[in-house]
Amino acid sequence: MDVSNAHLLDDAVVTTTLDAVVTWGREASLWPFVFGTACCAIEFMATAASRYDISRFGAEVLRFSPRHADLLVVAGTVSYKQAPILKQIYDQMPEPKWVVAVGACASTGGFYDNYTTLQGIDEIVPVDVYVAGCPPRPEAILDAVISIQKQLKEEPKFTLRHQEFKSKLDNV
Amino acid sequence: MSETQHINASELFGVIFQAKEQEGFSLLLDITAIDNLDKSHPTSTRFELVYILRHEDFKTLKIFKVSLADPLEGVESITSIYTSAEWAEREVYDQYGIHFKHHNTLKRILNHNEFEGHPLRKDYIITQGQYCTTSQDLMDEMQPLLEARCLDMKEDDLMIVNLGPSHPASHGTIRTLAALDGETIVAAAAEIGYLHRGFEKSCENHNYNQIIPYTDRLNYCSALMNNIAFSKTVEEMLEITLPDRGIFIRVILSELSRVIDHLVCLAAGLLDMGGQTNYWYLFNPRNNAYDFLSKLTGARLTNSYMRIGGMTHDLYEGWQDDLTDVLAKIDQGITDSLKMITHNRIYNDRIQNVSPVSADEALQYGFTGPNLRASGVAYDLRFSDPYYYYDTFDFQMVVGSVGDTYDRMMVRFDEMHESMKIIKQAMEQIPDGAINVSDKRIVMPSKDDVYGGIEGMMNQFKLVIDGVKVPKGEHYGAFEAANGELGFYIVSDGSGTPYKVKVRPPSFYHMAAYPKIIENYQVADAIMTLGSLNIIAGEMDR
Ligand code: SF4
């Protein structure tokens, strides 16, 4: 909006839909909680630093309390030992919330097909966007943020997401 | 120089005590075990323990091997001789189920507390994962600490604070439990293993070249260095040396990796302190270095550029200009950052005299690398046991005096300058010629040969399917990596796949000391200390 013309809107009434306003607010203010565990987290650091600058997409307000965040970025390998912590953090985030699995490990266990590593975080929490790569380049992580922004436009705004999801660690 | 000596379980304690007190083996590098179950020529006992010690001349190695009749019976713990044995023995117990008598806290360390079995035993199936549902409260470790200090939670009005494993300043996946009196930490315990990814078990079902991508992900801030350290160890077993050009490329890339590693450590450390501008100054040139690396290797972070016997390809045309530019930018970043902190009261007051570690303590804890040098011990493998022509380069060892958080950070700042000096000299002196050894049993044939003739095709096929065959034997190879002595203890049965690989991870030992050295300092100091130790979870937990 051209601010110099703001007076033109002085007494105006703008009509829109509630959905449109909510979407507009949500897409431009995703607050990520970075669950960074390994090499991918280092590339997330690069995504947040000035060259790639995640703030261009409105997602630079990194929160270190899950209760303040609505975008869970899981960057790195999640081991069986780490899994209950991931679940707890996800549960602590208020709705609506989105999850990005950054990299091969978070998406599928990557090349750690062994006794230590969870074979994909979607066993524990529902995932909205998977990012390929080991580690993905910062551009790919930005692309995931943009995908979430697109996705949330299409979604119903006032119902809980992923109610049908069953976690391997439910009821324990 | 290394010497292996077989000893009996009953005399172990005495022999090691003597090695330390009388023969001067002041550094316990690592303890591991070998499960002989799958060996083609069965040995008399199933398990063997391996103790690797380094002499205070920082050159001589001594390896003790103990055959073990009964893992449950075990051996005497050597924690009273070397503090660093505490976690090392716990790891052997966790991975192999071998008992250590009179160890205070013999419990799992890498695997979770609900885990059953011992994964590095040969009869443990590699893919058998086990879900974990709870976290431990660590009070079993905290309570004895408090008792030893005559403290009581209630009477002394202490508070327990849990830092991590998911905490912005816990650098990934480290958990520390601290008992606080006001702001002061009176006792602390640490839990690791959250990033245990089964590196050592995975090595046992991949051939040597396939392991290289796994080594990238040990210390992922200086991936190339791990590639080089691993390849170098295997090459030592094969008794081959690279042509000079190959060696120079390795030196240049090692030192560049060391600079990148220190940049990330310092950038993150200063960010933890609130110096965000320093983060940009130090982190941005690292991006330039990554541009160079991705142009050279195809990847920014996890390069996998090395191979046994050399590397995938030569440097590209025009690399000198790119690298010179990168070095100039790094230099600028360091200068800008130092301008902001050298005379900065906040920086100096917050970290000077915080968590100092004396030289003796540092050796007891098993410190190596910049953290040990900060404590005033002049140990650097590039000087004490030079490899790759390091004795011909003109550079200096950076040594601190107090061993506090300040020294640990400033040693890293100065080491970056020294590394850049080496890079510049190596760039001038690098010769032309081959980069790989010329041995068909080790290095892949050229693509022309593979597509052009049956011999080349078979050669490639055999190398891919069977891998590089390494002569039967055991070897410990050490490398001065960014965080300290990175070692690989490899057992080969003569095939293309290692029988066993054990990493000697510098961060593991630094982390073991961490809960002890933050005592009597404040929580905010502990955060800085953790940053200055540069704990990299991938390397620590493997
Ligand atoms: S996907 Fe690759 S880079 Fe990312 S955490 Fe896993 S191993 Fe590391």
Q: Please state, for a pLDDT cut of 90, what percent of chain A lies above it.
A: 19
Residue of B nearest to A65 (CA): B167
Kindly determine whether residue B287 and residue A49, on different chains, have CB atoms separated by under 8 Å. yes
- State whether B308 and B233 are in the same domain: yes
- State whether B359 and B441 are in the same domain: yes
Specify burial of residue B183 (Cβ count, 10 A radius: 0-12, 13-18, 19+): exposed
- State whether B371 and B434 are in the same domain: yes
Selecting from A37, A49, A115 the residue whose C-beta is nearest the C-beta of B172 gives A37
Range of the domain at B272: 220-445
Confidence class of residue B412 from pLDDT cuts 50, 70 and 90?
very high
Classify residue B201 as left (phi > 0), alpha (psi -120 to 50) or beta: alpha
Does ligand 1 come within 6 angstroms of the Cβ of A39? yes
A135: cis peptide before it, omega within 30°? yes
Kindly determine whether residue B301 and residue A135, on different chains, have CB atoms separated by under 8 Å. yes
| pLDDT at A110 (0 to 100) | 87
| pLDDT at B46 (0 to 100) | 84
User: Phi and psi dihedrals of A107, rounded to 5?
Assistant: -75, -45
Collapsed DSSP state (helix, strand, coil) of residue B362: helix
| pLDDT at B58 (0 to 100) | 87
Question: Does residue B272 contact residue B288 with C-beta atoms inside 8 Å?
Answer: no
Cα B95 from chain centroid? 18
pLDDT at B421 over 80: yes
Q: Give the distance from residue B174's alpha carbon to the nearest chain A alpha carbon, in angstroms.
A: 9
Q: Give the H/E segment covering residue B190.
A: strand B184-191
Å from CA of A104 to ligand 1 middle: 6
Selecting from A85, A114, A169 the residue whose C-beta is nearest the C-beta of B127 gives A114
Kindly determine whether residue B202 and residue A112, on different chains, have CB atoms separated by under 8 Å. yes
Please check whether residue B474 lies inside any domain of the structure: no
For B202-247, how does the pLDDT look when each residue is reduced to its tens digit (9 = 90+)? Answer: 999 898 989 999 998 888 888 899 999 999 999 999 999 989 999 9
Q: Give the distance from residue B268's alpha carbon to the nearest chain A alpha carbon, in angstroms.
A: 10
End of a domain among B44, B75, B101? Answer: B101
Question: Tell me, what amino acid is at B394?
Answer: D
Please check whether residue B497 lies inside any domain of the structure: no
Count of the separate structural domains present in chain B: 3
Collapsed DSSP state (helix, strand, coil) of residue B510: helix
Kindly determine whether residue A37 and residue B201, on different chains, have CB atoms separated by under 8 Å. no
Per-residue pLDDT, averaged over B463-480, amounts to 89
Instruction: Round to whole Å and give the CA distance between B16 and B62.
Output: 10
Please check whether residue B467 lies inside any domain of the structure: no
pLDDT at B471 over 70: yes
Selecting from B126, B135, B214 the residue whose C-beta is nearest the C-beta of A115 gives B126
Distances (CA, A) of B54 to B330, B453, B520: 35, 50, 31
- For residue A115, the chain B residues in CB contact (below 8 A) are 119, 124-130, 198, 201
DSSP count for chain B of H helices, then E strands: 19, 14
- For residue A89, the chain B residues in CB contact (below 8 A) are 166
Closest-CA residue to A72 (of A39, A47, A49, A94):
A94
User: B69: domain CATH number?
Assistant: 3.30.460.80
Return the number of other C-beta atoms located less than 10 Å from residue A154's C-beta: 7
The reply to whether A41 touches chain B by the CB within 8 Å rule is yes
Instruction: Round to whole Å and give the CA distance between A118 and A136.
Output: 19
Kindly determine whether residue A35 and residue B166, on different chains, have CB atoms separated by under 8 Å. yes
B386: cis peptide before it, omega within 30°? no
Q: For B368, how many CA atoms within 13 A lie in the half-sphere containing its CB?
A: 31
Return the number of other C-beta atoms located less than 10 Å from residue A21's C-beta: 12
| pLDDT at A6 (0 to 100) | 62
For B95-132, how does the pLDDT look when each residue is reduced to its tens digit (9 = 90+)? Answer: 998 988 888 888 889 988 888 889 998 888 888 888 88
Pick the residue with more confidence: B80 or B164?
Answer: B80
Kindly determine whether residue A38 and residue B220, on different chains, have CB atoms separated by under 8 Å. yes
Selecting from A79, A84, A137 the residue whose C-beta is nearest the C-beta of B196 gives A79
Q: Which of A44, A73, A82, A105 to mutate to test the pocket of ligand 1 (most atoms within 8 A of CB)?
A: A105
Instruction: Round to whole Å and give the CA distance between B449 and B434.
Output: 17
When mean pLDDT is compared across B140-154, B348-362, B423-437, the lowest value belongs to B140-154
Q: Which of B219, B302, B542 to mutate to test the pocket of ligand 1 (most atoms within 8 A of CB)?
A: B302
Å from CA of B475 to ligand 1 middle: 29
For B44-87, how does the pLDDT look when each residue is reduced to its tens digit (9 = 90+)? Answer: 788 889 999 999 888 888 999 888 878 888 888 888 899 999 99
Instruction: Round to whole Å and give the CA distance between A110 and B211.
Output: 14
pLDDT at B1 over 80: no
Å from CA of B78 to ligand 1 middle: 36
* Residue bearing the CA closest to ligand 1, atom 5: A76
Instruction: Round to whole Å and give the CA distance between B255 and B422.
Output: 7
Does ligand 1 come within 6 angstroms of the Cβ of A103? yes
Instruction: Round to whole Å and give the CA distance between B303 and B36.
Output: 34
End of a domain among B81, B101, B121? Answer: B101
- State whether B224 and B320 are in the same domain: yes
Question: Does residue A121 contact residue A86 with C-beta atoms inside 8 Å?
Answer: yes
| pLDDT at B276 (0 to 100) | 82
Q: Which of A35, A39, A102 to mutate to test the pocket of ligand 1 (most atoms within 8 A of CB)?
A: A39
Q: Give the distance from residue A147's alpha carbon to the nearest chain B alpha carbon, in angstroms.
A: 23
End of a domain among B427, B445, B463? Answer: B445
- Give residue for tokens 């010629």: B433
- State whether B310 and B380 are in the same domain: yes
Kindly determine whether residue A116 and residue B129, on different chains, have CB atoms separated by under 8 Å. yes
Does ligand 1 come within 6 angstroms of the Cβ of B4? no
- State the DSSP code for B454: H
DSSP letters spanning B164-179:
-SS-TTSTTT-EEEEE
Ligand 1 atom closest to the Cα of residue A76 is: 5
Does ligand 1 come within 6 angstroms of the Cβ of A77? yes
Question: Tell me, what amino acid is at B83?
Answer: T
The reply to whether A21 touches chain B by the CB within 8 Å rule is no
The reply to whether A169 touches chain B by the CB within 8 Å rule is yes
Distances (CA, A) of A46 to A39, B197, B267, B418: 11, 24, 12, 26
- State whether B162 and B303 are in the same domain: no
Question: Does residue A58 contact residue A26 with C-beta atoms inside 8 Å?
Answer: no
Å from CA of B194 to ligand 1 middle: 15
Selecting from B129, B172, B220 the residue whose C-beta is nearest the C-beta of A80 gives B129
- State whether B435 and B511 are in the same domain: no
Kindly determine whether residue A114 and residue B201, on different chains, have CB atoms separated by under 8 Å. yes
Q: Give the H/E segment covering residue B65.
A: strand B61-68
Please give the ipTM for the structure prediction.
0.84
Instruction: Round to whole Å and give the CA distance between A149 and A139.
Output: 15
Q: Give the H/E segment covering residue B509.
A: helix B506-517
In this structure, the dihedral spanned by the alpha carbons of residues B265, B269, B271 and B277, taken in order and rounded to 10 degrees, is -70
Burial A73-105 (b: 16+ CB within 10 A, else e): bbbbbbbbbbbbbbbebbeebeebbbbbbbbbb
Closest-CA residue to B350 (of B90, B478, B531):
B531
pLDDT at B326 over 90: yes
In this structure, the dihedral spanned by the alpha carbons of residues A47, A52, A53 and A59, taken in order and rounded to 10 degrees, is -50
CATH hierarchy code of domain A29-154: 3.40.50.12280
Å from CA of A93 to ligand 1 middle: 25
Ligand 1 atom closest to the Cα of residue B301 is: 3
- State whether B170 and B264 are in the same domain: no
Instruction: Round to whole Å and give the CA distance between A154 and A28.
Output: 15
pTM of the complete model beyond 0.90: no
- Ranges of chain A with pLDDT below 50: none
The reply to whether A84 touches chain B by the CB within 8 Å rule is yes
Q: Please state, for a pLDDT cut of 70, what percent of chain B lies above it.
A: 99
